[in-house]
Amino acid sequence: MNPLDSLPVPALKPFAHLLVQVDQIIDVGHTGNGQRRVVPIAGGVCRTADWQARVLDGGADYQWLTSNRVSHLDARYVLETDGGDRIFVQNTAIRVAEPEVMERLMRGEPVAPAEVYFRCVPTFQTSAPALRWMMERLFLGTGARRAAEVELLVFEVS
């Protein structure tokens, strides 16, 4: 018996499209095992099939650049839906590109999303009864960094 026949195969279901506005990078510098940076989050929007939300300013993306190709990202921010519900988002990601592409990205120059491997695993926390299901699911996403924003497509793993 093939074990692949006995368990359900996960699928991806579209969930959300986010445009997260970012502010000027705070460069902490090289810490001995990579470069540490903090990117303040200054707003944005989130759209799903069922609701819309704004990204509240005050969050940040804590970045750890471990080589001239690899960045580990840990973004934390809050969404506020049009109905007033709040959702805490923690989005861990990896961004990988050839060194010359990464240099262009770090300078804020346009880079085609196909040139960068940018994948994320967001988690959500909320007290809103209608949205609590989000805390019981896994999500995966893909992203692109632009000069003043990050665009994310998030999928529910079903």
User: Which tens digits make up the pLDDT trace of 95-126?
Assistant: 999 999 999 988 888 899 999 999 999 999 99
Q: Give the pLDDT score at 109.
A: 87
Whole-number percent of the chain with pLDDT over 90: 88
Calpha distance 19→38 (Å, rounded)? 18
User: Is 3.50.50.60 the CATH number for 12-157?
Assistant: no
DSSP string, 77-122: EEEEETTS-EEEEEEEEEEE--HHHHHHHHTT----GGGSEEEEEE
Q: Domain spans of the chain?
A: 12-157
User: Which tens digits make up the pLDDT trace of 5-33?
Assistant: 788 889 999 999 999 999 999 999 999 88
In the chain, which ranges are continuous DSSP H helix? 99-106
Q: Pick 62 or 1 by higher pLDDT.
A: 62
Residue 3 has pLDDT above 80, yes or no: no
Calpha distance 39→82 (Å, rounded)? 26
Q: What is the mean pLDDT of the chain?
A: 95
